[in-house]
Structure 1
């Protein structure tokens, strides 16, 4: 039968990867301590280093452009809501 794969949390992976980056211990000693293959620690270390670049690529407090709502679409939605609101007010007799 095959072995069940262990699933590690992101917190655990980052902790182990940070230990590897610090360099106070060798990757092999970290691997023995946590009972993980050294190659896996190297992979997590690389992922952490490569992912760290994204933090500095973005401007502080600003979402990436893909997450910002399109101004034109927002204006269109506002106009549509105003028309619907006026229609409903006319139907209910609130506007005269």
Structure 2
């Protein structure tokens, strides 16, 4: 570890330490935004799984080659 890097971290902590304990700070807003994005991604994953399974079943019914690599 280089001393300059440690000094930069220390300075950053001292400058932003008060925001760690504030309620309703930007970090909580960022966490809410990230959680909303995660929820949307999980929704999309679920939708894609349903579509994949539907297409796999449909292709099997039509007699098309269906190998499930997953």
* TMscore range, shorter length: 0.3 to 0.5
Higher relative contact order, chain-length normalized (CA < 8 Å, sep 6+): 1
TM-score, length of structure 2 as denominator length:
0.43
Give the number of the structure whose residues are more often helix, by fraction. Answer: 2
TM-score (normalizing by structure 1): 0.36
